[in-house]
Amino acid sequence: MKQKNYHYVLTIAGSDSCAGAGIQADLKTLTALGCYGLNVITALTAQNSLGVQSIYAIDADFVQAQLTSIQADFPITTVKIGMLHTAEIINVITSTLVKMQVKNIIVDPVMVAKGGAKLLTPEAVAALELLLTHASLITPNIEEAKYLLQIDTITAKDMVEVAMQLSQKFRTNVLLKGGHLIEKDCIDVLYLYQLQQLQRFKAKRIITPNNHGTGCTYASAIAAFLARGNNLESSIERAKDYLTGALIAGRHYKFGQGHGPVLHFYKHWE
């Protein structure tokens, strides 16, 4: 019998104790889409559907130990990065990934939780910006784009220009997500740095309180499709379709008293 190989994806992110976002959402997404998720945990959070109550950063040396252990045993071609929290952790990850020469590095620049809790220390911003220059794709939402460019407002009309500015600043491909805008449809703008080309991805807006972890899920889905051999544009298109399906299926469930998660395994549930 011919031996099969897994499609490995390494996720580097924080842990969500209610399992709707972070490492837990990443692993659910990767599994649902046919990949084997490996993980490096950067922080622990005490959180529920109402918000984040506490954050405990993992020591940077132990983050390095996790990365070293994974690198020594598995062929890593695709990495998805989420919450990093401190400058020390970010610097360790950046230097290690540069040495590893990973083909696909997808960075979701997680800065603020849906409930408003800051997930990145102020001194970590400069370190994050250096990491972004080594990414093959970054996936900021509107609030993160405002923070990274130090601008006050972004409208639907501004998205193309903002995506281009982010791409030029960090010298990489940018997927600017429009989910935080008040529009009938959710439109994301992809700007390809090398080709200087633009593409839009549109999906119907799903009205639901169960939208916790959408950014983590979207970035992980893109990573999964890349790991399975799709090109970037196809990976984003398929990931957006997957996320939309997970939002639709998850809106019928009651979860805690606040924001619930999307339903990652909707294709396998009755």
Closest CA to 193 of 164, 165, 170, 173: 173
Give the tens place of pLDDT for each residue, 74-124: 999 999 999 998 999 999 999 999 999 899 999 999 887 666 566 777 788
Q: What percent of the chain has pLDDT over 90?
A: 87
Separation CA 51–CA 220 (nearest Å):
22
Q: What is the DSSP pairing of strand 104-107 with strand 137-138?
A: parallel
pLDDT digits (tens, 9 = 90+) for 7-35: 999 999 999 999 999 999 999 999 999 99
- The three-state secondary structure class of 68 is helix
Residue whose pair of structure tokens reads 């460019």 in the numeric block: 149
Give the mean model confidence (pLDDT) for residues 176-194: 91
Mean pLDDT of 252-262: 94
